[in-house]
Amino acid sequence: MPVARGFATWGTDSGHDNAKLPEIQAFALNAEALENYAFASYKKVRDAAVEIVRVRYGTAPRRIYYSGISEGGREGLTMAQRFPADFDGIVSGVPAINFTGLQAAGARNSIALMGNGWLSPAKVKTLHKAVLDACDTLDGLADGIVSRYVACRTAFDPKKLRCQDGRNSDNCLTEAQIAAVEAIHSPYVFSFPLANGVTSFPAYNYGGEDQPGGMVAWITGSKPPVYPLSSVEDQGRIWYFGSGFVRYFIAADPNFDPRKFRPEDFRTRVEHISALMDSTDPDLSRFAARSGKLILKENMADHAISPFNAIAYYMSVVQKLGQVSVDSFIRFYVTRCQPRRRRHQQR
């Protein structure tokens, strides 16, 4: 534990308490709470914590570090982009940085899975086996891992799983299910630019579909997605989060039907939310100039957030600053595991 090793540590609830809300996204109806969640609370808590340390120990911290994954990873990059002088080192794992695109894609994908498009857990296993059959040995090694994950996107075709003669079983996919798989593995494209010129959210990756906490937990759910939502445990989490995002962040109406969402109908609001929430600014020059260091990590079997999201961000930083500059302060790692989803901060 950091505390036992002499570190001062702190964290924040992002400015609201989910337990007191009718739904976890309901705080977004309050402009101050929304801004706190987007970026402001992390700066406020950091500054207050540094002052407490200074008063208690007679000196400010010599070094300040941040570590977080998923939403916490977004928050880490938020600090590097908005407040580059505040942290000496940041670890950002599987960051939800294209937040607007992530939630819109989650809603789109879940709608594609409704009704006849739904893949049961048994169908997910069938999909996973077919992906391994097509892609496992692309790296020359049969080990149950899709290491050539980019090549797999062209090597695997879900249409090869089409049910024959109108039959439907756990060992094949119907036309509606194939269409849902293709939607999930296609980018979500906006007709107008989001913050920092981003126009899409990347497609999800193939591989690791049937792992614990994988495709069933995040995308397909143990039961088909419906609206109004049924039990949270039944629904894929991307529908739980995406539908709530549409209703509370964008429409500002808990009763809005997220199945009717079109970004063009809410362009001004979408642009506003993107400017608040999307930590996609590639200009980390101020963070680098004050000798900040960044570790960026992505899990290629992640079904909560497309792993190509962080890859696209890293490449945008390289394009902005150049590879030599990026190599001087960023290390980017990819793994093949699905992380436990939690936000964690250590200073």
Q: How many angstroms separate the CA atoms of 104 and 239, rounded? A: 10
Q: Is the pLDDT of residue 262 over 80?
A: yes
Residue 72's φ and ψ, nearest 5 degrees, are: -65, -35
Give the residues across from 332 on adjacent strands.
296
Read off the pLDDT of residues 272-293 as tens digits, 9 standing for 90 and up. 999 999 999 999 999 999 999 9
Q: What is the pLDDT of residue 1?
A: 62
Who has greater pLDDT, 231 or 156? 156
Q: What is the mean pLDDT of the chain?
A: 94
For the chain, give every domain's residue range: 3-97+279-335, 100-276
Range from 54-58, 120-124, 125-129, 259-263 carrying the lowest mean pLDDT: 54-58
Lowest-pLDDT range of 119-128, 164-173, 300-309, 321-330: 164-173
Nearest to 87 by CA among 41, 42, 55, 40: 42
Burial class (CB in 10 A: 0-12, 13-18, 19+), 1: exposed
One-letter amino acid at 273 equals I
Give, rounded to a whole angstrom, the gap between the first and last alpha carbons of the chain. Answer: 12
- pLDDT attached to residue 231: 81
Give the separation between CA 183 and CA 110, rounded to whole angstroms: 10
Q: What separation in angstroms does the CA of 253 have from each of 1, 28, 182, 273?
A: 42, 10, 30, 15
Confidence of residue 337 (pLDDT cuts 50, 70, 90): low
Judge contact between 257 and 244, C-beta under 8 A.
no
Distance between CA 238 and CA 304 in Å, rounded?
A: 7
Query: What value does the mean pLDDT take over residues 81-97?
Result: 97
* pLDDT (average), residues 304-326: 97
pLDDT surpassing 80 at residue 57 = yes
Q: Return d(Cα 71, Cα 83) in angstroms, integer.
A: 17
pLDDT band for position 18 (50/70/90)? confident
pLDDT band for position 158 (50/70/90)? very high
pLDDT value at residue 341: 47
**How much is the average pLDDT of 324-339?**
86
As a whole number, mean pLDDT of residues 19-31 equals: 94
Measured at the alpha carbon of residue 284, what is the angle toward residues 280 and 290, in degrees to the nearest 5? Answer: 150
Coil/strand/helix, residue 132: helix
Residue 333 burial by Cβ neighbours in a 10 Å radius (0-12, 13-18, 19+): exposed
Q: Quickly state the pLDDT bin for 68 (edges 50, 70, 90).
A: very high
Is a pLDDT exceeding 70 seen at residue 342?
A: no
User: What's the CATH superfamily of 3-97+279-335?
Assistant: Alpha/Beta hydrolase fold, catalytic domain (3.40.50.1820)
Q: What is the pLDDT of residues 112-147, one digit of tens each?
A: 999 999 999 999 999 999 999 999 999 999 999 999
Q: Name the residue with tokens 């088909």.
A: 224
> Residue 338 pLDDT > 80, yes or no?
no
